[in-house]
């Protein structure tokens, strides 16, 4: 295969691998934006209790992620990345489509919220096997000197999906009446995910299995139980990655899940200003991520980027909170920008750094379980935790101190990381003696 053909195939691989992650975070953004409409259609009743049930249905998907990580990781490490990822993207896209197509509670009664929860459960289960497998697929297909750039597309697509979901929500809100939006308008972007998912399925089935996986499979028998190998030989790596994920996950869900209600209710910031600041901050992050990734491919992962990001978030947490609580346009936008840019520093290399910590034979399982546990425990629960911290302490800055605590935990985990940026792929191959150095 010629150089041009190889480059074209690698580009196709990046799109195929990252599109599932895009759909997942696209739905996440849509669910938050249209939560009021979803509550009205599936949990009719008093305002606060209706919204509480709506967010409970959203949060249930996080519980199933670790189980999906174990199941899909098992097949991904034993049978291959490509086929396993075809199943995950189909499950994610169909489940998201079903949410947009479901009849309302007024039509089919209790069956409506039950089916909504089932769709969220299926989506969470499939999502548990998406990030680890897709990242492994991209990194294993990447040129040696561009592994961070390829892996960064996982984070790039997450936040780009949030931006696009927000933009679509804004357009629909501006062009439709409230009645039309709550009746059928909110469904349109959910329905779009099925053709998008089918496109991703087609692309995933058209690309080849990674050479790294095929070489590993040719050298030795796959692990009969990858999760057992991960927990027995690489449990320290799992702990390090969970610790590392805590601050980024907390900052992400603080921005998207906690601040919108907190700043409006407690600081008197307008919804429109929160929306504007979110878009500006997230766009800045999206633009910055690939640049940090390119630098990471040149100078390494751990010291320049993973450590710097944790320190920057810890240092900026309190100043950022003073800025957003001030409530002016300039201060709120600046606060959002600073926190997003501090977070972006690690996102360019974090996915690849996780992948490089596991040997090929258990990489899918190792990445999936580490990431899913971190996201499930410290992601979906972040708005609830931060609300409890603020209410319990009586301090609006309580959430900032919690963010500092998560940054310290992540910094401890990152300081225990080896530098993986300079390692050749041969360091991750099949020899049993080489594996303990990653755990």
Are 352 and 139 in contact, with CB atoms under 8 Å apart? yes
- Position 419 confidence tier, pLDDT thresholds 50, 70, 90: confident
Are 96 and 127 in contact, with CB atoms under 8 Å apart? no
Name the token pair of 369: 């379980």
3-438: in CATH 1.20.1250.20 = yes
Residue 432 has a pLDDT of 38
Whether the predicted pLDDT of 287 surpasses 90: yes
CB atoms within 10 A of CB 362: 29
Are 87 and 133 in contact, with CB atoms under 8 Å apart? no
What is the rounded distance in angstroms from the CA atom of residue 337 to the CA atom of residue 216?
43
Are 20 and 85 in contact, with CB atoms under 8 Å apart? yes
Q: What is the pTM of this model?
A: 0.86
Residue 216 has a pLDDT of 81
CB atoms within 10 A of CB 215: 15
Residue 434 has a pLDDT of 40
Whether the predicted pLDDT of 303 surpasses 80: no
Residue 51 has a pLDDT of 65
Mean pLDDT, residues 377-387 taken together: 78
Which of 94-103, 177-186, 220-229, 262-271 is the most confident on average? 94-103
Whether the predicted pLDDT of 357 surpasses 70: yes
Name the token pair of 163: 């931006």
How far lies 115's CA from each of 33, 104, 156, 185, in Å? 20, 10, 31, 20
3-state secondary structure of 202: helix
- Position 91 confidence tier, pLDDT thresholds 50, 70, 90: very high
| More confident: 267 or 368 | 368
Residue 47 has a pLDDT of 53
Are 278 and 336 in contact, with CB atoms under 8 Å apart? yes
User: In which element (H, E) is residue 74 found?
Assistant: helix 47-78
- Position 36 confidence tier, pLDDT thresholds 50, 70, 90: confident
- Position 48 confidence tier, pLDDT thresholds 50, 70, 90: low
What is the rounded distance in angstroms from the CA atom of residue 434 to the CA atom of residue 395?
50
Mean pLDDT, residues 326-343 taken together: 94
Whether the predicted pLDDT of 87 surpasses 70: yes
Residue 69 has a pLDDT of 94
Going by C-beta distance under 8 Å and a sequence separation of 6 or more, which residues neighbour residue 273?
329, 332
Residue 424 has a pLDDT of 53
Whether the predicted pLDDT of 66 surpasses 70: yes
Helices (H), 207-307: 211-219, 226-233, 235-253, 259-266, 271-299
Residue 319 has a pLDDT of 96
Q: Indicate the domain borders of the chain.
A: 3-438
């Amino acid at each position: 295969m010629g150089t041009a053909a190889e480059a074209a195939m690698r580009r196709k691989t990046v799109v195929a691998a990252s599109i599932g992650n895009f759909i997942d975070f696209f739905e996440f953004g849509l669910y938050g934006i249209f939560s009021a409409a979803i509550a009205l259609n599936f949990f009719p009743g008093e305002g606060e209790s209706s919204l509480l049930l709506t967010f409970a249905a959203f949060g249930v998907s996080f519980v199933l992620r670790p189980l999906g990580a174990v199941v899909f990781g098992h097949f991904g490490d034993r049978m291959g990345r490509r086929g396993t990822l075809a199943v995950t993207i189909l499950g994610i896209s169909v489940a998201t489509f079903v949410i947009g197509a479901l009849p309302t509670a007024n039509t089919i009664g209790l069956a409506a919220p039950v089916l909504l929860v089932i769709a969220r459960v299926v989506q969470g289960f499939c999502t548990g096997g998406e990030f680890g497998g897709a990242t492994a697929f991209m990194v294993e297909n990447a040129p040696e000197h561009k592994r961070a750039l390829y892996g960064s597309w996982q984070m790039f697509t997450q936040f780009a999906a949030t931006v696009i979901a927000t933009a679509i929500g804004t357009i629909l809100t501006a062009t439709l009446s409230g009645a039309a939006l709550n009746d059928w308008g909110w469904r349109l972007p959910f329905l779009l995910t099925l053709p998008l998912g089918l496109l991703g399925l087609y692309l995933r089935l058209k690309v080849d299995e990674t050479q790294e996986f095929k070489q590993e499979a040719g050298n030795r028998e796959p692990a009969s139980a990858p999760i057992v190998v991960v927990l027995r030989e690489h449990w320290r790596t799992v702990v390090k990655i969970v610790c590392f994920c805590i601050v980024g996950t907390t900052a992400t869900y603080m921005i998207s899940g906690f601040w919108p209600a907190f700043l409006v209710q407690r600081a008197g910031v307008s919804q429109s200003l929160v929306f504007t600041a979110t878009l500006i901050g997230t766009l800045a992050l999206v633009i910055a991520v690939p640049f940090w990734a390119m630098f990471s491919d040149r100078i390494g992962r751990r010291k320049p980027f993973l450590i710097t990001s944790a320190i920057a978030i810890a240092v900026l947490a309190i100043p950022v909170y003073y800025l957003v609580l001030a409530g002016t346009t300039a201060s709120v936008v600046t606060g959002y920008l600073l926190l997003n840019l501090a977070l972006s520093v690690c996102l360019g290399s974090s996915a690849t750094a996780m992948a490089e910590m596991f040997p090929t034979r258990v990489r899918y399982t190792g990445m999936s379980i580490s990431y899913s546990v971190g996201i499930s425990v410290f992601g979906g629960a972040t708005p609830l935790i931060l609300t409890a911290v603020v209410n319990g302490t009586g301090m609006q800055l309580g959430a900032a101190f919690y963010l500092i605590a998560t940054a310290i935990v992540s910094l401890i985990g990152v300081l225990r990381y080896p530098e993986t940026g300079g390692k050749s792929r041969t360091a991750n191959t099949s020899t049993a003696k080489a594996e303990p150095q990653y755990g």
